[in-house]
Amino acid sequence: MPPNPTELREPVLAWFAEHARDLPWRSADRTPWGVLVSEVMLQQTPVVRVEPAWRAWMARWPAPADLAAASTADVLRAWDRLGYPRRALRLQECARAVVERHGGVVPSSEPELLALPGVGSYTAAAVLAFAYGRRSVVLDTNVRRVLARTVDGVALPAPSQTVGEVRRATRYVPDDHATAARWAAASMELGALVCTARAPRCDACPVQDVCAWFAAGRPADEHAGRRKVQGFTGTDRQVRGRVMALLRDALGPVPAAAVDAVWPDARQLARCVDALVADGLVTRDPAVSDDDPPTYRLPT
């Protein structure tokens, strides 16, 4: 039998009070903009890589207006190796929208947040909870895993989020704003530090005694065959990363020959470069003559 909301929430909240990490976007002086930046950076990127990048980013662009006025090349260089650089472009688009539509202040309503470029349902809910202390249903990978195990008794949630999953999560969110926001952070932290995907530390879990998955003997992942596991070596993502690294480090336009040298498979490289150009991450300046071949640079 799954735990009722009180049985699950109270131990997790007490555990969080003792074990929460001291992260800068949780500090008392955090800003809604800082929270939004952290949520974008943390998508598919671990905290250990995000924290120094976030501190440098916020020191340079502490408000949406600062990022909105920055050059695209500077933004992409500052993003450095966080991965998925399109997130950087979307974050700058978001900053410009905040300036144009909201006077430079990150909005505090879900519809207005969802209307911003690059902001989906999870990010909007996270900003409401972590920036404004509002009740919302924050469902990231960690929270989904905690609820799948404790409530549903399965190893991992389904690959795609379902309507039923959101309804179930909503039942466990406290009614008052402050406790709901803390529950969002606490359940997320439990998933990140204890109820991890590959090596859950059930002996250190504050809700082991009410966890349906533990009571069932920790059964294997029933969705294992549906999950896509992709390595990094040899992928288009690796090629794109090498091209972006070359252009970030360059002082000026990079000749085509230098770009050609970053990867041995010419067809794969050409496909990746074309995609970077189409995504607005790279600018290709055409050849003027045979003696002056094409060059590549970060957008300005």
Listed in sequence order, the residues at least 6 apart from 278 whose beta carbon sits closer than 8 Å to its beta carbon are: none
pLDDT at 99: 98
Catalytic residue selected from 7, 18, 39, 110:
39
Q: Give average pLDDT by consecutive 10-residue segment, the chain, 300 residues.
A: 92 98 96 98 93 97 98 94 92 98 97 96 97 97 97 92 93 97 98 96 97 96 69 87 91 90 92 93 82 86
Identical fold, 138-176+187-226 and 236-297 = no
Helical ranges in the chain per DSSP H: 5-19, 32-41, 47-60, 64-68, 72-79, 86-102, 110-114, 121-130, 141-147, 163-171, 177-193, 212-215, 236-249, 256-260, 266-278
| Residue 181 structure tokens | 């926001």
pLDDT at 91: 97
**Which pTM value belongs to this model?**
0.88
Domain boundaries, the chain: 21-132, 138-176+187-226, 236-297
Listed in sequence order, the residues at least 6 apart from 285 whose beta carbon sits closer than 8 Å to its beta carbon are: 253, 294, 295, 296, 297
Confirm or reject CATH 1.10.3720.10 for domain 21-132, answering yes or no.
Answer: no
Q: Considering only the top CATH level, what class is 138-176+187-226?
A: mainly alpha
Residues 137, 97: Cα–Cα separation, whole Å: 24
pLDDT at 140: 95
Fold of the CATH domain 236-297: Arc Repressor Mutant, subunit A (1.10.10)
Q: Is 39 a catalytic residue?
A: yes
**Residue 174: Cβ within 10 Å count:** 17
Burial of 83 (0-12, 13-18, 19+ CB in 10 A): middle
Residues 78, 163: Cα–Cα separation, whole Å: 37
| Residue 263 structure tokens | 């990867």
Residues 277, 156: Cα–Cα separation, whole Å: 37
